[in-house]
Homo-oligomer: A and B are copies of this chain.
Amino acid sequence: MIKIALDAMGTDTFPSADVEGAVLAAREFDYEIVLVGKSELIEKELEKHRPVPENISIHHAPEVIGMHEQPVLSVRRKKQSSIVVLTNLAKEKKVDAMVSAGNTGSMVCAATLKCRLLPGIERAGIGVIMPTLKGTALMIDSGANIDAKPKHLMQYAIMGSAYSEFILNNRSPRVGLLNIGEEESKGTGFLKEAYGLLELSGLNFIGNLEGRELFKGDCDVIVCDGLVGNVALKVSESTAHALVEMLKRELKSSAMAKLGAMLSKAALYSLKKKMDYAEYGGAPLLGIDGTCIICHGSSSAKAIKNGIRVAGEEVIKNVNQHIVEKVT
């Protein structure tokens, strides 16, 4: 049975959503789930979910890395933290995959240091699945590595393509380079060099992609460096949030609008769900010799469950092997 370790100290309200997510996953999937964190806290939380599924176990880790701790330092100093213990389990192949909603930087750092990278890969990248008008797209890197070189972007493209093909079921995924304009001549020297590499990569490279095309759905894998990707991701989340806030205010502005809002409530709810990245089950950290899913700190139990589901799928579909075959 596939064994997945979950950081029980991950979400902003740990361990409640984490443990509940694990319970939901254990009931729904044939995975063995190992909850990593303070055992007494986890046990207490599990009490709320009786009967506790048999495919859940606890692995004690007494320390917790906070959301705002510095990645490298926190991993070096807190050797008994849930994140470090989690990655040790993965490194020693005691589990097949790991899932965490904790400090992203620390998770990336620990996973890269402990599990090392796949042969041919020089930098890990975080792939985020974004909703588009036609389905979803994977954006990589959304913040694992902010000092990328052009060749790293090509490696992201290879990893993203493998993920898109085997997990998101896109045959021959279209790869686009996030840039300031569509023409080949656009962008910095860094981007032009990446463009050249992508053209020669043998991937289904469709050229530069402007920020405005992110949600059109004409591209399956959006490649960018970690700084640009992080800004793009957070700006899109924040735009969606601001828009929904503004809409709520507008809908409260008159009795007519209020009634309208009531009637269209289901539609609004469905939209909110579509814009909710958590639904898609976390972001894969691609490039490490292991399987790691990073969830949002604000993840719900359902989002954690989906993260566990996707981690299992990645193992079953052998995504890493496909990456290695393509890159070497």
A141, chain B: closest CB distance, angstroms:
11
From A33-41, A87-95, A229-237, A285-293, the one touching the partner chain is A229-237
Question: Among A5-13, A199-207, A252-260, which stretch is in contact with chain B?
Answer: A252-260
Closest Cβ of chain B: how far from A140's Cβ, in Å? 15
A231 to B187, CA, bound (A): 11
- Across the interface, do A253 and B267 meet the contact criterion of CB distance under 8 Å? yes
User: Does A68 touch B at the CB level, under 8 Å?
Assistant: yes
| CB of A50 closer than 8 Å to a CB of B | no
B-contact bits for A256-297, CB 8 A (1 contact / 0 none)? 110111111111101100110000000000000000000000
A318 interface residue (CB < 8 Å to B): no
Given A185-B70, A239-B240, A246 contacting B133 (CB threshold 8 A):
yes
A14 to B250: give the CA distance in the assembly, Å. Answer: 34
Nearest B residue to A256, CB-CB: B263
Please report the C-alpha to C-alpha distance between residue A240 and residue B271 in the assembled complex, in whole angstroms.
Answer: 13
Closest beta carbon of chain B to A192's beta carbon, Å: 11
The total of chain A residues at the interface (CB under 8 A) is 67
In the bound complex, how far is the Cα of B271 from the Cα of A86, in angstroms?
A: 45
Residue among A181, A231, A241, A257 with max Cβ neighbours from chain B (10 Å): A231
CA distance A107 to B104 in the complex (A): 41
Q: In the complex, what distance in Å separates the CA atom of A237 from the CA atom of B216?
A: 12
A271 touching B243, Cβ below 8 Å? yes
Q: Which residues of B contact A180 (CB under 8 A)?
A: 143, 146, 226-227, 230-231
Complex partner residue of A260 from B191, B213, B260, CB under 8 angstroms: B260
Q: Are B178 and A231 in contact (CB under 8 A)?
A: yes
- Cβ–Cβ < 8 Å partners of A232 in chain B: 211, 231-232, 235
- The answer to whether B235 and A239 have CB atoms under 8 Å apart is yes
Q: A105-B181, A214-B235 are in contact. List 7 more A-B contacts (CB 8 A).
A: A147-B188, A191-B227, A211-B232, A216-B238, A235-B236, A253-B270, A254-B267
- The 3 A-B residue pairs with the shortest CB-CB distance, nearest first, are A211-B234, A260-B263, A260-B264
